[in-house]
């Protein structure tokens, strides 16, 4: 019974055992509390060898008792797991949760699985440049899990949302929708993307049915491609049904739900630190924090939210807040936190709004494609992608970013450091290496090369006097027209 309780208590981070009808435990898998079946068994490495002597008649009986305990504990743990995936089996997915793991740790299992998946990932399969594929691979090794907190409060039923979908004359088009549909679309997109990358992902609902946020299948859903592509596809469909069941309702208790998530991460903190891994927390919301029982945000609620963010940052969580509203008080509140509080915290809007921010800051030489937006939404450790919507990029920032964006082959040379030679080489690569390989520009509503070389030369200070004068005149004319 002790073994049963330990299995239940640790099920949120336990790897799923194989189905009972095909699992035959070996002697090394039997619980340590049971004496070994063989007359002589070596102890664990690093300890003294011990010898045990059992009668021939005792061995079968002990094996039968131990197997019975394992078989009894399995359905109990599966029942406590709330159904989950796999028809009631214990979860193979390492996950954050209560108790101690009954198998390999989350981080160790994740790292082993991901190193295999990412090592065989073809950049062409991900449909990204080689430099970006290498960045995703390197960062994937450092991410134990991505956790999405999805706001389904009552205000998300408002119909001023939008999302980018494939279709239309240029291959993409903006689709009007409710705020909740915008959040759901983002969640599905990231479920598929992270399954391709091999990064386990959890999707938590702000106001789950029945209030049981801690139970898988009711409060959250996991998508993990470790057991194969077909299983990941079934999990994505399960996520879609989960989101359809949880329609907008209730308040915006961000602090409470972040506290629940922080406790889950805290229990694995030592292992995460040892493995050099982090958890990325993505908050998708349209409003300011409230208590679970009030639809009005008080100053105390906002202070409590900032405190919750600090606690998450103290355990090295990387935090992204994805806004699904243009309401100025909400935008200003989260923007002030991003600007004033020293946290691993990024605030993003929809793709069109982010592209506008880049243009305003003088970073419009970068085509802000759906790929770049998705990478930033999911939390990226490359600092230049964090600050691209906060300030004009320096020459060093531009140099670093374009090394990733324009690397197409392992044999590509690094870009030259001289600004004039740098711009010339970028122009050459766009003509020779990127011919026909353009991305969607959400501002032009058309396909475009990854870099606007005219604006790049301006940002790098490589314009001629005439070019600078003409650009200055064009900017003034544009500003005058916009003001009329």
Burial of 43 by CB count in 10 Å (0-12 exposed, 13-18 middle, 19+ buried)?
exposed
**Under 8 Å between Cβ of 140 and 274:** no
**Does 66 score more than 80 pLDDT?**
no
Distance of CA 80 to the CA centre of its chain: 26
User: What pLDDT does residue 321 have?
Assistant: 97
CA dihedral 199, 378, 321, 97 (to 10 degrees): 0
Burial of 147 by CB count in 10 Å (0-12 exposed, 13-18 middle, 19+ buried)?
buried
354 vs 465 pLDDT, higher one: 354
Determine the average pLDDT of the residues in 152-171.
91
DSSP state, residue 366? B
**Under 8 Å between Cβ of 12 and 264:** yes
Q: Which of 243, 224, 231, 255 is nearest to 182 (CA)?
A: 243
Q: Which of 93, 336, 331 is nearest to 222 (CA)?
A: 93
Determine the average pLDDT of the residues in 55-75.
37
Dihedral pair phi/psi, residue 134, rounded to 5°? -65, -40
Buried-exposed string 153-178: b where 16+ CB fall within 10 A, e elsewhere: bbbbbeeebbbbeeeeeeebeeeebb
Identify how many contiguous H helices and E strands the chain contains and give both numbers: 18, 10
Helices marked H in 315-369 — which ranges? 328-340, 351-360
Reported confidence tier of residue 19, pLDDT bands at 50, 70, 90: very low
Reported confidence tier of residue 14, pLDDT bands at 50, 70, 90: very low
CATH of 106-349, one of 3.30.1370.100, 3.30.450.20, 3.40.50.10860, 3.40.50.410: 3.40.50.410
Domain residue ranges in the chain: 2-80, 106-349, 405-483
Could you tell me the two tokens for 432?
A: 């020779």
**Under 8 Å between Cβ of 161 and 177:** yes
pTM: 0.73
Q: How far apart are the first and last CA of the chain?
A: 78
Could you tell me the two tokens for 356?
A: 């506008």
Q: How far apart are CA 99 and CA 10, in angstroms?
A: 4
pLDDT tens for 121-138 read: 454 567 788 899 999 999
pLDDT tens for 141-157 read: 999 999 999 999 999 99
Determine the 3-state secondary structure of 101 from DSSP.
coil
């Amino acid at each position: 019974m002790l073994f049963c309780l330990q299995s239940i208590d640790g099920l949120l981070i336990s790897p799923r055992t194989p189905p009972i009808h095909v699992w035959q435990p070996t002697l090394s898998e039997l619980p340590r509390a049971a004496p070994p079946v063989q007359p002589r068994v070596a102890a664990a490495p690093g300890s003294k060898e011990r010898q045990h002597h059992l009668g021939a008649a005792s061995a079968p009986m002990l094996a039968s008792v131990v197997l019975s305990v394992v078989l009894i504990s399995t359905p109990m743990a599966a029942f406590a797991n709330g159904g989950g995936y796999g028809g009631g089996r214990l979860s193979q997915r390492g996950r954050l949760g209560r108790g101690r793991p009954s198998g390999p740790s989350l981080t160790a299992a994740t790292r082993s699985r991901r190193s295999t998946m990412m090592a065989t990932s073809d950049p062409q399969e991900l449909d990204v440049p080689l430099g970006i594929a290498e960045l995703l691979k390197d960062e994937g090794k450092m991410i134990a899990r991505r956790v999405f907190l999805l706001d389904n409060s009552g205000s998300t039923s408002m119909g001023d949302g939008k999302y980018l979908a494939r279709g239309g004359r240029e291959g993409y088009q903006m689709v009007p929708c409710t705020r909740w549909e915008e959040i759901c679309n983002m969640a599905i997109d990231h479920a598929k993307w992270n399954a391709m990358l091999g990064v386990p992902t959890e999707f938590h609902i702000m106001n789950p049915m029945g209030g049981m946020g801690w139970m898988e299948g009711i409060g959250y859903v996991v998508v993990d491609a470790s057991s194969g592509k077909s299983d990941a596809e079934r999990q994505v469909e399960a996520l879609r049904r989960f989101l359809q069941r949880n329609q907008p309702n209730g308040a915006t208790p961000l602090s409470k739900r972040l506290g629940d998530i922080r406790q889950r991460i805290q229990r694995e903190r030592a292992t995460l630190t040892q493995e050099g891994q982090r958890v990325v927390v993505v908050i998708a919301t349209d409003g300011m924090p409230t208590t679970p029982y009030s639809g009005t945000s008080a100053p105390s609620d906002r202070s409590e939210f900032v405190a919750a963010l600090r606690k998450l940052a103290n355990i090295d969580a990387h935090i992204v807040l994805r806004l699904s509203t243009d309401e100025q008080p909400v935008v200003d509140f989260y923007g002030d936190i991003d600007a004033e509080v020293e946290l691993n915290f990024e605030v993003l809007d929809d793709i069109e709004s982010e592209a506008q921010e880049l243009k305003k800051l003088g970073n419009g030489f970068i085509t802000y494609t759906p790929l770049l937006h998705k990478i930033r939404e999911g939390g990226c450790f490359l600092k230049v992608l964090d600050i691209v919507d906060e300030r004009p990029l320096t020459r060093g920032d531009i140099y670093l970013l374009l090394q990733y964006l324009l690397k197409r082959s392992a044999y590509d040379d690094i870009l030259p450091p001289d600004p004039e030679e740098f711009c010339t080489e970028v122009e050459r690569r766009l003509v020779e290496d990127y011919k026909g390989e353009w991305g969607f520009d959400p501002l032009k509503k058309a396909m475009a090369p990854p870099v606007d070389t005219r604006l790049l030369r301006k940002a790098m200070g490589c314009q001629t006097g005439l070019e600078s004068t003409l650009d200055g005149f064009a900017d003034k004319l544009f500003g005058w027209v916009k003001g009329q």
